[in-house]
Amino acid sequence: MHTDAQKHAAPHGTDIQMTYVEAIVQAQIEEMDRDERVILMGEDVSIYGRGKLFERFGKRRVWNMPISEGGFTGLAIGAAISGLRPIVDLSTASFVYLASDQIINQASKLRFMTGGQIDIPIVFRCFMYSAGSMAAQHADRPYPLFMNVPGLKIISPTSAADIKGLMKSAIRDGDPVLVFEDARLWSLEGDVPTDPDRVIPIGKADVKREGRDVTLVAIAGAIRPTIEAVDALTEEGVSVEVIDPRTLKPLDHEAVKMSVAKTGRLVIVENGHRVCNVGSEIAAVMAEEAFDLLRRPILRLSAPDIHVPFSPALEKGFFPTKDDIAAAVRRLL
């Protein structure tokens, strides 16, 4: 682990080890340094490593707001219309419901309703739990709800380098972007580019592992048990290609299609509820556009269509596990 001083002193064009959550903070620091119109507001913005933002930019550009998600989200949308570029930290993903009227009825629609006269350059951040007995009201994955809304972009990458590059793209984008982070990924370390101008384009998937037998699309926090399952399958001689969409809207269907053309088999894994989730959308498009490439039926793994339980014993098997994923892959062979 490198110190903050080492991270800032590292020459551009090199990579440095940092965690997923450190990469998010670093992306915000770089973009706030780059553009004085970028501001941060939201709940608990002084914790989870973000105290550095207070220290660096002060109360003029970092605002710790009252617990009124609809109120400060509306304030941020007005600030975006007036020329600022707000980052709105909504904390736990379930709190996005409270801001959803502002996000859906205002942020996503005003460019359309004004004939392109108004831009809404705004980022909404939130994080999702998959362990820790957070219970039903703090453990949702609301991203499918927002995938159904025109005018919004949604990202949920799984590596430190990807969250930094996509967070920077989101802040620079002219449209509203939602960032759904899985808290299980916060502690993951990886090599992250120090170049402040290196961004990752919204809408491009990434192949995390190359393989020939089965295509496995992993969404957000599902990447961890997915990689564990793939490692075990590799020892059995099974070659699995792992794709991280990184962006949930717009989805990179071409990347999935290219992989399916090679493997002929598709498994989609996510921690969202089964009905109308990301896997549903990918499966529908592949059935419409790549049916002739498939040798076996598409399989989807997800959380069941019930609320997330508080009980640690029930929570333990609620989301797809390494063994679930490995078994699904074997079914297609």
What does pLDDT average to over the chain? 93
Count how many Cα atoms sit within 13 Å of the Cα of residue 117 in the half-sphere of its side chain: 3
Domain extents in the chain: 4-193, 206-332
pLDDT at 1: 46
Cα–Cα distance between 286 and 34 in angstroms, integer? 40
Beta bridge partners of 247: 155
**Which string of DSSP letters, residue by residue, matches 88-99?**
EEEEEGGGHHHH
Pick the CATH number of 4-193 from 3.20.20.70, 3.40.50.970, 3.40.50.2020, 3.40.50.2300: 3.40.50.970
- Give how far Cα 4 sits from Cα of 28, 44, 55, Å: 14, 21, 13
Q: Tell me if the domain spanning 206-332 has CATH number 3.30.70.20.
A: no
pLDDT at 43: 87
Cα–Cα distance between 308 and 142 in angstroms, integer? 13
3-state helix, strand, coil in the chain (%, to 5): 45, 20, 35
Q: How confident is the prediction along the chain (333 residues), in pLDDT tens digits per residue?
A: 455 544 555 556 689 999 999 999 999 999 999 999 999 999 877 766 567 888 888 888 999 899 999 999 999 999 999 999 999 999 999 999 999 999 999 999 999 999 999 999 999 999 998 777 888 889 999 999 999 999 999 999 999 999 999 999 999 999 999 999 999 999 999 999 999 999 999 999 999 999 999 999 999 999 999 999 999 999 999 999 999 999 999 999 999 999 999 999 999 999 999 999 999 999 999 999 999 999 999 999 999 999 999 998 888 889 999 999 999 999 999
| SS3 of residue 218 by DSSP | strand
Residues 6+ apart with CB under 8 A from 8: none
Residues 6+ apart with CB under 8 A from 303: 141, 271, 272, 273, 274, 318, 319, 320
pLDDT at 48: 60
Q: Please, what sign has the CA dihedral across residues 100, 106, 111, 117?
A: negative
* Same-fold call for 4-193 versus 206-332: yes
Side by side, which strands form the sheet with 123-128?
62-64, 38-42, 85-92, 123-128, 177-182, 153-155, 247-249
* Beta pairing, strands 206-209 & 38-42: unpaired
- CA angle at 254 for the pair 320 and 214, rounded to the nearest 5°: 45
- Report the amino acid identity of residue 163: I
Cα–Cα distance between 141 and 159 in angstroms, integer? 19
Cα–Cα distance between 267 and 108 in angstroms, integer? 31
Cα–Cα distance between 183 and 318 in angstroms, integer? 16
Q: Which residues of 38-70 are buried (b: 16+ CB within 10 A; e: fewer)?
A: bbbbbbebeeeebebbbeebeeebbbbbeeebe
The structure's pTM equals: 0.93
Cα–Cα distance between 27 and 164 in angstroms, integer? 5
pLDDT at 5: 44
- Report the amino acid identity of residue 51: G
The set of catalytic residues is 138
- CA angle at 107 for the pair 125 and 198, rounded to the nearest 5°: 50
| SS3 of residue 312 by DSSP | helix
Whether residue 63 contacts residue 41, with contact meaning beta carbons closer than 8 Å, is answered with yes
Burial label for 167, CB within 10 Å (0-12, 13-18, 19+), is buried
- Report the amino acid identity of residue 208: K
Cα–Cα distance between 283 and 268 in angstroms, integer? 8
